[in-house]
Amino acid sequence: MELVRATEAAAIRAVPFIGRGDKNAADGAAVDAMRKFLGTVNFDGVIVIGEGEKDHAPMLYNGEHVGNGHGPAADIAVDPIDGTSLTAAGRQNALSMIAVADRGSMYDPSAVFYMDKIVTGGEGRGVVDLRKPIGENIRALAKAKNKDIADMVIAVLDRPRHAQLVDDIRAAGAGTRMLLDGDVAGGINAALYGTRIDMCVGIGGTPEGIITACALKALDGFIQGRLLPRDDDERQKAIDAGHDLDRVLEANDLVTSDNTYFVATGVTDGGLVNGVRKLGPVLRTESIVLRGRSGTIRRVQADHVAEKWL
């Protein structure tokens, strides 16, 4: 619940910037709020996955210590707003997110920004494989879920790089759910029971892959990822850091601990949670809290007295 207070605060502070066209202002307000509330949490946290390096403050930077310094030592991944462009444009699916795991358990991508990913529910384990053609994976997962291929829905980030992937998905007979941003929410929805998304695939951020893995620990979900350097410089950095660029990483590679927490609060309405709503004198937030060790999924609705946030 201490973590929820931090994502709630970040989401609430971003509200004045929804639809105003200034994604940096929205992000800055969310960062300030999240940093303030994280400082009260009873842990010794180090940000492993943040928004950049220290000289780019006010971002929550990689290596920054958060928490009150007491309690358990933890790795922290933060994204005060996953979907700053969505917030600025007033579009759906913007979230404020935090993932936490035991110290030293989060994978260090060594500055490789992108990874190719596939995420499903537990039914995909031993059934789908990132190295196989997407059509083969769709057919195998449909069989495992006892669904018609025509009823399968595959989430993909709406990017030019995915044009062939989208064509292949549709050629296999499945439908697509095109995501403007936020493949973390797409991956979680692929693993959650009872949603319309069956699989989330494509090239997205490596940090988002690690955050998704933290969430999937609570959902018994399945993820595979493979680092995808953008250029020769990034490739060499990865090789120098000892990464095997052909290796397919799974959840336990991305986060070795099962003692994980994932918290997200909606900034704008989306398929995972609703956004912040002004209801008379209160601001209503909706959050989701996933705990890996217990396999618990909690949804938290909170009303905040609006005048206390002025």
DSSP-derived secondary structure letter, 274:
-
User: Does 109 show up as a binding residue in the annotation?
Assistant: no
Q: Which amino acid is at 142?
A: A
User: Does 209 show up as a binding residue in the annotation?
Assistant: no
User: Does 280 show up as a binding residue in the annotation?
Assistant: no
User: Does 181 show up as a binding residue in the annotation?
Assistant: yes
What are the E-state strand segments in the chain? 44-49, 65-66, 73-82, 95-102, 114-120, 153-157, 175-179, 199-205, 222-227, 249-250, 261-266, 277-279, 282-291, 296-305
CA atoms within 13 A on the CB side of 132: 16
Q: State the residue for tokens 């493949």.
A: 183
User: Does 13 show up as a binding residue in the annotation?
Assistant: no
User: Does 51 show up as a binding residue in the annotation?
Assistant: yes
User: Does 131 show up as a binding residue in the annotation?
Assistant: no
Hey, is 242 helix, strand or coil?
coil
User: Does 246 show up as a binding residue in the annotation?
Assistant: no
DSSP-derived secondary structure letter, 255:
B
The two tokens of residue 269 are 């309405």
d(C-alpha 30, C-alpha 51), whole Å: 12
- Beta partners for residue 263, in sequence order: 98, 289
User: Does 208 show up as a binding residue in the annotation?
Assistant: yes
User: Does 253 show up as a binding residue in the annotation?
Assistant: no
User: Does 268 show up as a binding residue in the annotation?
Assistant: no
d(C-alpha 188, C-alpha 194), whole Å: 12
* CB-neighbour burial class of residue 81 (10 A; exposed 0-12, middle 13-18, buried 19+): buried
User: Does 133 show up as a binding residue in the annotation?
Assistant: no
User: Does 173 show up as a binding residue in the annotation?
Assistant: no
* Size of the chain in residues: 310
User: Does 270 show up as a binding residue in the annotation?
Assistant: no
User: Does 284 show up as a binding residue in the annotation?
Assistant: no
Alpha-carbon distances, residue 123 vs 127, 146, 206, 229 (angstroms): 7, 10, 23, 30
Residues annotated in a binding site: 27, 51, 79, 82-84, 114, 159-161, 181-183, 205, 208
Residues annotated in a binding site for Mn(2+): 27, 51, 79, 82, 208
Residues annotated in a binding site for substrate: 82-84, 114, 159-161, 181-183, 205
